[in-house]
Amino acid sequence: MKRTLALAAAVFATAAAAGTATAPAAHTGTSLVGAGSTFVAPLVAQWTPAVASAYGYELQYSPIGSGGGINAVTGRTVDFGASDAPLSPDQFTACKGCAQIPWALSATSVIYNLNGVKNLLHMDGPTLAKIFAGQISSWDDAAIKKLNPGVSLPSQKIAVVHRSDNSGTTFNFTDYLSSASPAWKSATGTGVAVNWPAGTGAKGSSGVAAAVGQTPGGIGYVDVAYAKANHLKFLAMKNRSGKFTTPGLRGILAAATSDQKPDGTNALSIVNPPKKYPLAYPISTYTYVIVPLQSSKAADLKKFLFWAVTKGQAFGPRLLFQPIPKSVLVVAEKTIKQIHS
C-alpha cells in the first residue's frame, strides 16, 4: 500500500512537471526584473515577447504601482523601476545614483458610468475638481449641465472612485486637478496617494475600471489603455484654449509639444498645457523608467532601454501611447549611455 501511495505521488509529480514543461519554455537568456507603474504595464506586456525574440531577454515586470517601483529600485530588489510620477529630490537621494528616463507617453482618461448618456460627455477642470472634492454630488448639477447643453442628464448620484494604492496615475490626475483648481491644490494637492475628500478606493487601474463599471453613476480615472480595453466611456476635457479634447494620439501629441525640454532630472510636465495648444488633451503624462546608473546588468539594461525608446515605441499607438518626440528621445538616449557596470 505504501508503494501504491508512492507510485501515485510520483505519477502526480511527473504529470505536473510534464504539464508545466510543455508550457512555453523559459528563455535561458538574461532576465531583467522590473516593477512599478501600472500605467505603462500594457506597453511593457507588448514589449515582453518582442524583446525575447530580439535579444533573448526575459522581461519580468510586476505592476505594483509607481510608489512600489521607486522603492523597489531604491532597495535594488529589481533591475529597473517604472514611475509616472517624477522622483522628488529626496527620492533621488535615497536611490543613490539613479537616473530617470522618459520612455513612454500617454494620458489618463476620466471614465464614467451613466446609462443612456452618450460617450464623450463634456467636462472642465474646475468642475471635475469639485466632483472629486464631493462638492458636486449629482450628475444633473447646474455646472455639468452648462458644459453639456442639449444633453439630458439623469439625476443620478455621482459615485467617486479613486485609487487606493500608490499610483502614478493618481499623481497625474491630481497634478491636473491642482493645476486647474487652486481650491483643490490647497485642500488636497498632488501626490501618488492623497487624502481623498470623497469616494471609495480601488486597487489598480483594473480595480477602478471594475468599480466604475459596476456602480451606476460612477466616475473614476484610469490610464486610457485600460479604458479602451474595457470599452469604457470617458469624458472630453476642456483644455486651456477652450476646446474639448479626448485622450487620443492627437491630443496626447499636442500636449507633448508644450514641453519638449526635459529638466535637469529629465522630468517633463505636460499637464494642462497653455492656450496655444488647442488640440492638447490636458491630462497627458510622460512615464519614466528609473535605473541605477551603476548596475551589474548594465550592458543588457542599455540594450533593452535603447530598444524601448526606439523600436519599442512602435507598439504604443495601438494602446494609445504616443511615440516620444525626437527632442526627448535625444535626451533619453544620452542618459541611457551613462549606465555603466
Partner 1 sequence: MSTHSLTKAALRAEGLPRRRAVNRLMELLAWLAAALAVAILGIVVWSVARRGAGALNLDLLTKTPVQFSLVPVKQGLANAFAGSLVIVALATAMALPVGILVAVYLMEFARPALRTAVSLTLDVLNGVPAIVIGIFVYGLLVLGHGQSGYAGSFALACIMLPLVARSTMEVLALVPSSLREASLALGVPRWRTTLSIVLPQTIGGIVTGTVLAVARVAGETAPLLFVSSLVGTQVSWDPHHALQTVPVAIFELAESPDPADHTRAWAAALVLLIFILFASLGARWLATRSARRMSTAR
Partner 2 sequence: MSSTDLTGDATRRPFTGRRVRFGDVSLQAVAGAAAAAATLLVFLIAYKVVRGAQPAIVRYGIHFVTRVAWDPVKNVYGAGSFLFGTAVTSLVALAIAAPLAIGIALFLTELAPRRLRAPVTALVETLAAIPSVVIGLWGILVLGPILRDHVEPALHGALGFIPLFGAPSTTGSSIFTAVVVLTIMILPIVASISRELFLGVPRDLKEGALALGTTRWEMVRGVVFPYARGGIAAALILGLGRAVGEAIAVTQVIGGGVGIHWNLFATGDTLASKIAASYQGAQSNIQLSSLVYLGLILLVFSLVMNASAQVIVRRTARRHGAPRGAAG
Residues that bind partner 2 (CB under 8 A): 64-68, 70-71, 74, 91, 94, 164-166, 189, 191-195, 200-201
Task: Compare residues 79 and 124 and give the one whose CB is closer to partner 1.
Answer: 79
Instruction: Establish if 280 lies at the interface with partner 1 (CB under 8 A).
Output: no
236 and 131 Cβ atoms separated by less than 8 Å: no
Q: What is the DSSP string of 75-140?
A: TTSSSEEEESSPPPHHHHHHHTSEEEEEEEEEEEEEEE--TTPPSS-EE-HHHHHHHHTTS--BTT
Instruction: Establish if 4 lies at the interface with partner 1 (CB under 8 A).
Output: no
Give how many residues touch partner 1 by CB under 8 A. Answer: 49
Smallest distance from the beta carbon of 197 to partner 2, in angstroms?
13
191 and 174 Cβ atoms separated by less than 8 Å: yes
Nearest in space to 87 (alpha carbons), one of 331, 266, 261, 258: 266
Instruction: Establish if 79 lies at the interface with partner 1 (CB under 8 A).
Output: yes
Among 54, 210, 293, 329, binds partner 1 (CB under 8 A): 210
Among 17, 120, 314, 330, binds partner 1 (CB under 8 A): 17
Smallest distance from the beta carbon of 274 to partner 1, in angstroms?
34
Smallest distance from the beta carbon of 41 to partner 1, in angstroms?
6
Length of the chain: 341
Smallest distance from the beta carbon of 264 to partner 1, in angstroms?
28
Instruction: Establish if 142 lies at the interface with partner 1 (CB under 8 A).
Output: no
Smallest distance from the beta carbon of 165 to partner 2, in angstroms?
5
Task: Compare residues 66 and 245 and give the one whose CB is closer to partner 2.
Answer: 66
Among 138, 206, 246, 327, binds partner 1 (CB under 8 A): 206
Instruction: Establish if 321 lies at the interface with partner 1 (CB under 8 A).
Output: no
Task: Compare residues 34 and 323 and give the one whose CB is closer to partner 2.
Answer: 34
Task: Identify what 45 binds: partner 2, partner 1, none; CB under 5 to 8 Å per kind.
Answer: partner 1
Distance CA 181, CA 162 (A): 18
Which segment (136-144, 150-158, 181-189, 222-230) binds partner 1 by CB under 8 A? 222-230
Task: Compare residues 48 and 260 and give the one whose CB is closer to partner 1.
Answer: 48
Find residue 157's DSSP bridge partners.
Answer: 138
Distance CA 124, CA 147 (A): 8
- Phi, psi (degrees; rounded to nearest 5) at 322: -80, 130
Strands 122-123 and 98-112, how do they pair? Answer: unpaired
**Single-letter code of the amino acid located at 5:** L
Task: Compare residues 190 and 313 and give the one whose CB is closer to partner 2.
Answer: 190
297 and 317 Cβ atoms separated by less than 8 Å: no
Task: Identify what 194 binds: partner 1, partner 2, none; CB under 5 to 8 Å per kind.
Answer: partner 2
Distance CA 9, CA 31 (A): 33
Q: What is the DSSP string of 130-149?
A: HHHTTS--BTT-HHHHHHST
Instruction: Establish if 152 lies at the interface with partner 1 (CB under 8 A).
Output: no
Smallest distance from the beta carbon of 240 to partner 1, in angstroms?
32
For the chain, give percent helix, strand, coil, nearest 5: 40, 20, 40
Distance CA 18, CA 121 (A): 53
Question: Which residue ranges make up the site for partner 1 (CB under 8 A)?
Answer: 2, 5, 12-13, 16-17, 19-27, 31, 33, 35, 41-42, 44-46, 48, 58-64, 72, 75-79, 202-203, 206-207, 209-211, 225, 228-229, 318-319
